[in-house]
Amino acid sequence: AWARDRGVDWVALGHTQDDAAETFLMRLARQAGVDGLAHMAARFERNDLTWVRPLLSLRRADWRQYLQRRNVRWAEDPSNEDETFDRVKARRVLAELASLGIDTHTITAVAHHQSSAKLALNHYTYQETAQYGQEEHGDVILPTDMAEKGHLIPPEIMFRMRRAALSWVSGSAYSPRSEAFIHLDAGLHESGTHTLAGCVVTRLPGERRYLDRWRITREYNAVKDVSSSTNALWDGRWQMTGPHHEDLEVRALGDALSQVPKWRETGLPRQSLLASPAIWQNDTLIAAPIAGLKNGWEASATGRGTFTQFLLSR
């Protein structure tokens, strides 16, 4: 927010090779998978900003020596010595591991191997999603482990598809941990529906060549208090097109769905429509384009690109 307010669109972070190694150990303690153990990205996009880490190839000691040679002083953060922080603990452990040949260079090499594996897994996740996934008015519909008879989607690829769908629908920069998916599977098995990360996941019965599928939609409770002007992105992804006016705003449709008599003709689930964007003038519903009440308005979930485009950007 600070950067956007000042017209800054690039931010450089000071992470060094030591930071990357310490992060690896901390994530290892949390039983992270391939993505969590992959090397820190040297560049990434988030919150409409470009972030870069130009010092990742340098050790912290290298950076200090560089500054000393040029008589440049720096401020030392006192928390760097506070052992109540996991990062400081990881720094101490890293020093002990050096006797086994496990140092920052070794860990960095392993992290780069994980990054290569991550790229390959993301490639096949995109391929499977492009063939068997479906995007419908802001929802994502995914197959279960068997997309169709005779075609088995590996569990790791399914996990990535589901995790990415939750991130795309909710807009969260961080995906739920693996344990949350265990509860999700149990919830779907018991009741056919479950909430996670600001989304509602519903198990759909199979049809035609497909077996059971998941439908991932936005949770109404997560957006019921979200509002924006009609010419701004709503909930980070919905773009509204129509007769904009300063007296109008975008809010979730919610219980006003009852004011849309033909919503069932859309074929969309009630849960999806409750969380869909609607045009309001104070407490008066003007339009609900996803629910079929257009009144000159259209809504498209283009703020984060399509779901497959989102997969390619990860």
Provide the pLDDT for residue 21: 94
Cα distances (angstroms) measured from residue 73 to each of 53, 69, 70, 113:
21, 10, 9, 36
Provide the pLDDT for residue 207: 58
Query: pTM of the prediction?
Result: 0.80
What's the pLDDT tens digit per position in 44-94? 888 889 999 999 999 999 999 999 999 999 998 888 888 888 888 998 898
- Would you call 221 helix, strand, or coil by DSSP? helix
Q: Is the pLDDT at 217 greater than 60, yes or no?
A: yes
Provide the pLDDT for residue 305: 85
DSSP 89-135: HHHHHHHHHGGGT--HHHHHHHHHHHHHHHHHHHHHHHHHHHHH-EE
**Which of 7-16, 172-181, 266-275 shows the lowest mean pLDDT across its residues?**
172-181
Provide the pLDDT for residue 153: 86
Q: Which residue type occupies 307? A: F
Provide the pLDDT for residue 208: 55
Cα distances (angstroms) measured from residue 62 to each of 17, 52, 88, 90:
10, 19, 19, 20
What's the pLDDT tens digit per position in 299-309? 999 888 888 88
CA max distance for the chain: 75
What's the pLDDT tens digit per position in 99-119? 898 999 999 999 999 999 999
CA pseudo-torsion sign 239, 285, 216, 34:
positive
* Pairwise CA distance, residues 89 & 82, whole Å: 9
Say if CB 145 and CB 214 are below 8 A apart: no
Q: What is the mean pLDDT of the chain?
A: 90
Mean pLDDT of 264-290: 95
Closest CA to 115 of 28, 37, 38, 23: 38
Tokens of 65: 């020596």
Mean pLDDT of 152-180: 87
* Pairwise CA distance, residues 291 & 288, whole Å: 5
Q: Which residue type occupies 31? A: Q
